[in-house]
Structure 1
């Protein structure tokens, strides 16, 4: 889905997290507190008008009058109970007027329109039930939005020397959270971030993602070494996951300016974007199993260090991006397309990538997809400002006489 499921960098990073959750819940509260917008019964009125025109044109008397019941029936799909009652009343008045115009007796008109009160009553009940379901759905959506804010916390647009942007889309049309995860936390050991993908979908995947993010946020502050952070996540998952469950992830740290540390646990390799828009896949020197499966191989992931010059960017993503297929079954070529959209604003870059991804799949993703872009801001050279204005040379005045 297109987000709904979309999560960008929070433009107001100084706001408290509680305020963000309140903002997420508030729209749902506003929807559930009031009545749904009923509007005017335009479609029922159009149907009733069409019946009148056909009846007048054909002159067939009572043949078309039972179709007036379609007015309140259609009103139940778009209007509230009051709108349905209004459509039923309009249909009844119209039926009586047409019957009188054709010279029909009151008994004959009542016989023809006998189904109209029953249809109107049933439509009023259906409209009330629909209204109730909409209220419940709005409340559930507000809770999902609050849960998303708690699980996938917004990242600031700027962290230290870096610009950051995030784009997230859940595959389910009504979902707000999925099996993909990301987090960025400033720590005493530099900024640290994670992007991962949980095996499976639905609530079990969301629970595993919450477990990984909780352990990561805690370990990122406590552990001075990035491999130790990954070890703590591995130990936690080995105690809590089933034998067939695992999480692919890339964990990145910036211990010193201009230097990145990357630990890849069975995840897609990040893409390094140079200032000249050259794209390089940062492959691990030795493949490592996903998180939760280390006990099967006993192999720990490698720590790779690489420089990040001013103006360069690092793109992390999940499998939902590179495994998105078009109508011919071709995968989305992220590494070949990303250079077209690289600019100095990470949010614009990810926005263009996401739009192209949706166009590639035909408008709807079939898997969760997450993109996180980290850009090191270029060094701004100080502008020298003169301490005083230009010195004026004294003008010699020739002596008079």
Structure 2
């Protein structure tokens, strides 16, 4: 479930503000007319009419900007007629100034429209590239139902490094979620390298610690290809990652954490954060691991769900600066299926942030189905 810009949605309050803002130019025209008719003649509404045209350039399409400019000039000319100022050279000078501002507003409107179009194209290319890296995840792998969510940050048109993957092995389903430090092309290349290594190694690694070591080796080799390259940050990139394994024949989930936020376990209406007894450093910092990777084990029965996520979720802030309380919010949706749960999460994140996310968001839900 990768969210395109059209699917991101906005909260009700943000949508209401978006619908009301285009009315500002018309409101300013009415205020200008009121000021011209009901205040002393030496009080001119020029500044208010000019503000209407400038706001129209930013808020309205071309036709709206043109109509606002024509309306402002018409209001001012009507006031000239009402005040019998048709022979006042100063009044004509002010009318000419308003006409020039109207033309400038049309020019600004075209520039803003072109910039918005170019930004939309860049975002579209970035999201398409992100999709090519992530690949769609099957809805069902063995006895596990899966659903994924990826939402690109609205604040930027840069490619991010959030990633997830799922592989069916002969005896288990293995999951990966990760987040590359930084953004841009290098971050996406790093994410693609890690996903490729995971898709290859997950099939035959005997356990999660071996899988983590193989991923660390792949990322270290990748980083070593760029030593001393001017402007390259690849060697300094690290990836927080979490590996999970849901075996076919045991009602448990095994995890290995490499500097990544702990997953949430949803069990019979309860939501709890899995305790990480032995977290390891992020990938590409494997030289800090002296005693190997350790497995954390938790019960995982039919009907239970596991929510994996990147820090773009928990670091979403509201207007007061408070972080998103993930476990608290998810508790009310714990009875929903994976698709509905992530749909609730997506909409709630948008509402909580006030309409726009400042960081990429990725999440993955795995639900164990009853054995057939």
- Is this a same-fold pair by TM over 0.5? yes
1:318 equivalent in structure 2: 310
Determine whether 1:50 maps to 2:50: no
1:196 equivalent in structure 2: 178
The one-character-per-residue Cα deviations of 1:233-268 (angstroms, maximum 9, x if unpaired) are: 212211233554322222223453446443333434
Alignment of 1:308-387 (within 5 A): 308-321=300-313, 339-352=331-344, 368-379=360-371
Contact 1:279 1:339 in 2 (8 A): no
* CA deviation after TM superposition for structure 1 residue 102, in Å: 1.9
Determine whether 1:142 maps to 2:142: no
TM-score, normalised by the number of residues in structure 1: 0.69
CA 1:131/1:46 → structure 2, altered by over 3 Å: closer, same or farther? same
Runs of 5+ consecutive residues of structure 2 not aligned to the other structure? 8-21, 224-233
1:73 equivalent in structure 2: 54
TM-score, normalised by the number of residues in structure 2: 0.74
Which of structures 1 and 2 has the bigger CA Rg?
1
Contact 2:143 2:371 in 1 (8 A): no
CA 1:92/1:221 → structure 2, altered by over 3 Å: closer, same or farther? same
Determine whether 1:290 maps to 2:272: no
CA 1:142/1:278 → structure 2, altered by over 3 Å: closer, same or farther? closer
The one-character-per-residue Cα deviations of 1:167-203 (angstroms, maximum 9, x if unpaired) are: 4455663457534321123355643210123334555
2:198 equivalent in structure 1: 216
Alpha-carbon distance between aligned partners in 1 of 2:242 and 2:46, rounded to the nearest angstrom: 68
The 10-residue stretch of structure 1 (361-370 or 43-52) with the greater mean CA deviation from structure 2: 361-370
Alpha-carbon distance between aligned partners in 2 of 1:210 and 1:237, rounded to the nearest angstrom: 11
* CA deviation after TM superposition for structure 1 residue 376, in Å: 0.8
CA 1:328/1:122 → structure 2, altered by over 3 Å: closer, same or farther? closer
CA 1:339/1:378 → structure 2, altered by over 3 Å: closer, same or farther? farther
1:121 equivalent in structure 2: 103
Alignment of 1:191-270 (within 5 A): 191-201=173-183, 203-221=185-203, 226-241=208-223, 244-254=236-246, 256-258=248-250, 260-270=253-263
* CA deviation after TM superposition for structure 1 residue 85, in Å: 3.1
* CA deviation after TM superposition for structure 1 residue 126, in Å: 0.8
1:98 equivalent in structure 2: 79
Determine whether 1:281 maps to 2:274: yes
Contact 1:252 1:263 in 2 (8 A): yes
RMSD: 4.0
1:386 equivalent in structure 2: none
1:86 equivalent in structure 2: 67
Contact 1:320 1:370 in 2 (8 A): yes
* CA deviation after TM superposition for structure 1 residue 320, in Å: 4.6
CA 1:210/1:95 → structure 2, altered by over 3 Å: closer, same or farther? same
Contact 1:258 1:310 in 2 (8 A): no
Alpha-carbon distance between aligned partners in 2 of 1:379 and 1:156, rounded to the nearest angstrom: 19
The 10-residue stretch of structure 1 (169-178 or 295-304) with the greater mean CA deviation from structure 2: 169-178
Alpha-carbon distance between aligned partners in 2 of 1:314 and 1:292, rounded to the nearest angstrom: 26
Alpha-carbon distance between aligned partners in 1 of 2:349 and 2:5, rounded to the nearest angstrom: 29
Contact 2:46 2:98 in 1 (8 A): no
Alpha-carbon distance between aligned partners in 2 of 1:313 and 1:26, rounded to the nearest angstrom: 29
Select 1:155's aligned residue among 120, 125, 137: 137
2:11 equivalent in structure 1: none
SS of the residue aligned with 2:32? Answer: helix
SS of the residue aligned with 1:316? Answer: strand
* CA deviation after TM superposition for structure 1 residue 316, in Å: 2.4
CA 1:237/1:128 → structure 2, altered by over 3 Å: closer, same or farther? same
Select 1:60's aligned residue among 41, 44, 48: 41
SS of the residue aligned with 1:182? Answer: strand
Alpha-carbon distance between aligned partners in 2 of 1:60 and 1:323, rounded to the nearest angstrom: 56
